[in-house]
Amino acid sequence: MNLVELLDRREYLLVLRAPSNAIRVIGALVDAGMLTEFTGYKRNRMWQARSVLTALDDFALRAGRRAIPS
Q: What is the pLDDT of residue 37?
A: 93
Which contiguous run of DSSP H or E holds residue 5?
helix 3-9
pLDDT of residue 32: 93
> Which sequence spans correspond to the domains of the chain?
14-54
Residue 37's DSSP bridge partners are 47
Contact between 45 and 29 under an 8 Å Cβ cutoff? The reply is no
Q: Kindly report, residue by residue over 33-45, the tens digit of the pLDDT.
A: 999 999 999 888 8
Q: Look at the alpha carbons of 33, 1, 49, 22 in this order and tell me if their dihedral is positive or negative.
A: negative
The SS3 of residue 53 is helix
pLDDT per position as a tens digit, 4-61: 666 666 555 554 555 677 888 899 999 999 999 999 998 888 999 999 999 988 888 8
